[in-house]
């Protein structure tokens, strides 16, 4: 009887929470519809996904079209030369599936491949600029795998890639965000003529409101539509990609591309106050540590503490410190290293960690504990959900803005610099090994309601801040009953295992003073600082049969619906 009462309370709570999802459209970022919603980092990309849904495609068809379009519309953040993760749960699937299309280290990679100067820094910045920073890209293989295995079959490659081809041909608008990124990365862009040819005018940055055309990328996308992944991973194109990386000082070969494999993985799962969290396993650390952080906070009455208060923010800081301490010690590609995933996500372990939090005093720094005793056996994100409850969350990246800086001549796309995500010296669980996937913080996540039904898709760019951003948005929705858009817009906080706390400038002055009184060393960042990510999420109100999309004003995101 007690169990039935608990279930009733959870369901009632879920209904009340959904009732709070008002049609707020602050800053023009939100959207709602009865049939489908896409929330992406560019409004044009969101509309691409919606148009596919309108033509009869399913959520996966829409996601793949959106993904390729983003590679054109937001070339600084992702594209054909990168990789990422996708979580899919179609309405007829008992369990979700993770498609891991993360980059891998080339076969010639070694733990000591990067050399350090006397100042302790990588010589020539080689881990983030140039050919040595390039991992084997997985995007095209991963996106097409999803389309072929989970698409509706109503949309072939040509139809799904057509919007991306069109945008590459007619050109993309230079927004305030893109203009500022080109300006800040101008040195990297101008270092490589093929990149400068696309993203500058004779070496000078494009100005706000101008248009950047990329006919070479349009041709590459047409080749993918015609020949599938072989257009990238075999033949002349593979040789051209490898040559571009080698000419820029790298070690990538055509054989590395031919040997690339998409990995199909089981998601990591957990619960938070009756809701089920479904996210990505290693080589992403994100899903496991989002669950760990929420498990720690489940031992506190966050709702009663209130949103953004000194007490709530302090609890978040300490939970983040504890989780990041474990991340630093244990996380790596689980195909190469034994990672104690079940221990890290164990609720009893979370109680041990929660007991370390003193609500009257800042811990300052945290060290890793032992989760093994609990064992039992610059990036973009978008979310898609349709009226049938099909859910897709995708986070993909070329790493730093404009990746390695290396554009493959005549192809229009930039190669990633994800080799920098490894530990760059030997002897660490995250050190470089041939074929190994570098550790990621990408965290595309699905949330199911207490009945196990589709509730929310969520994720963010932002490097390590992704983990905190995704967890905070989930908590804002569940604990504080915020609408999906308000949950995204709420001020954020971030902390690693040690070091300064990063607080968004819009946070209350009372919260800042309260944190300092507890002993926290706080750095106040700008209002709406892109440092804190760019969350895009969709929430489904099953009772009203309405989908709510939320997008982040910290970047160029906007949701679209119908």
Pairing of strands 445-448, 204-205: unpaired
d(CA 315, CA 516) in angstroms, rounded, equals 14
φ/ψ bin of 545: left (φ > 0), alpha (ψ from -120 to 50), beta (otherwise) = left
Beta carbons within 8 Å of 301's beta carbon, 6+ residues apart: none
Locus of tokens 């709420």:
490
d(CA 269, CA 455): 15
Q: Which of 312, 379, 380, 407 is catalytic?
A: 379
- Residue 422 CA to residue 44 CA, distance in Å, equals 33
Element spanning 221, H or E: helix 215-227
**Cα within 13 Å of Cα(240), Cβ side:** 16
379 is catalytic: yes
Of 553, 527, 535, 523, the C-alpha closest to 317 is: 523
3-state SS, residue 256: helix
Distance CA 12, CA 307 (A): 21
**Cβ atoms 251, 106 nearer than 8 A:** yes
Kind and range of the H or E run holding 98:
strand 97-101
The strand order across the sheet containing 558-561 reads 263-265, 97-101, 83-89, 391-397, 380-386, 36-40, 558-561
**Residues with catalytic function:** 379
């Amino acid at each position: 009887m007690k169990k039935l009462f608990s279930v009733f309370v959870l369901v009632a709570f879920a209904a009340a929470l959904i009732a709070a999802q008002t049609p707020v459209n602050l800053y023009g970022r939100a959207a709602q519809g009865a049939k489908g919603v896409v929330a992406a980092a560019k409004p044009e990309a969101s509309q691409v996904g919606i148009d596919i849904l309108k033509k009869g495609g399913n959520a996966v068809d829409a996601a793949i079209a959106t993904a390729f379009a983003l590679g054109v519309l937001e070339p600084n953040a992702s594209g054909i030369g990168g990789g990422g993760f996708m979580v899919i749960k179609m309405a007829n699937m008992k369990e979700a599936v993770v498609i891991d299309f993360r980059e891998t280290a080339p076969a010639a990679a070694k733990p000591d491949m990067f050399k350090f100067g006397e100042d302790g820094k990588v010589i020539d910045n080689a881990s983030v600029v140039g050919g040595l920073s390039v991992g084997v890209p997985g995007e095209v293989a991963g996106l097409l795998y999803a389309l072929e295995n989970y698409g509706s079959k109503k949309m072939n490659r040509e139809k799904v890639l057509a919007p991306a081809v069109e945008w590459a041909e007619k050109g993309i608008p230079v927004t305030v965000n893109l203009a500022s990124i080109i300006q800040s990365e101008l040195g990297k862009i101008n270092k490589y003529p093929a990149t400068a040819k696309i993203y500058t005018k004779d070496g000078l940055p494009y100005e706000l409101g101008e248009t950047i055309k990329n006919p070479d990328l349009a041709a590459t996308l047409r080749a993918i539509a015609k020949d599938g992944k072989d257009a990238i991973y075999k033949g002349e194109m593979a040789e051209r990609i490898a040559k571009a990386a080698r000419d820029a000082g790298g070690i990538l070969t055509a054989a590395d591309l031919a040997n690339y494999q998409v990995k199909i993985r089981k998601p990591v799962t957990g619960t938070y106050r009756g809701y089920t969290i479904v996210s990505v396993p290693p080589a992403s650390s994100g899903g496991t540590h989002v669950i760990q952080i929420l498990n720690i906070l489940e031992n506190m009455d966050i709702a009663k503490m209130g949103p953004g208060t000194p007490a709530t923010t302090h609890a978040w800081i300490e939970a983040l410190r504890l989780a990041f301490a474990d991340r630093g010690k244990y996380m790596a590609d689980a195909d190469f290293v034994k990672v104690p995933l079940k221990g890290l996500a164990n609720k009893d372990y979370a109680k041990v960690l929660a007991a370390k939090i003193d609500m009257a005093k800042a811990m300052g720094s945290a060290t890793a504990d032992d989760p093994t005793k609990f064992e039992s056996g610059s990036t973009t994100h978008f979310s898609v959900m349709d009226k049938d409850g099909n859910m897709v969350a995708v986070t993909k990246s070329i790493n730093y803005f404009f990746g390695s800086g290396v554009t493959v001549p005549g192809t229009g796309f930039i190669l990633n610099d994800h080799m920098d995500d490894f530990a760059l010296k030997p002897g660490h669980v995250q050190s470089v090994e041939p074929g190994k996937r570098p550790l990621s913080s990408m965290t595309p996540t699905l949330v199911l309601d207490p009945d196990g039904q589709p509730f929310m898709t969520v994720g963010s760019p932002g490097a390590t801040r992704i983990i905190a951003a995704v967890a905070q948005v989930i908590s804002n929705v569940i604990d504080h009953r915020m609408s999906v858009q308000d949950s995204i817009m709420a001020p954020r906080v971030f902390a690693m295992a040690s070091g300064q706390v990063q607080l968004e400038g819009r946070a209350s002055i009372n919260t800042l003073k309260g944190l300092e009184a507890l002993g926290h060393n706080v750095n106040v960042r700008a209002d709406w600082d892109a440092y804190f990510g760019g969350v895009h999420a969709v929430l489904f109100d099953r009772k009203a049969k309405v989908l709510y999309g939320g997008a982040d004003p910290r970047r160029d995101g906007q949701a679209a619906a119908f």
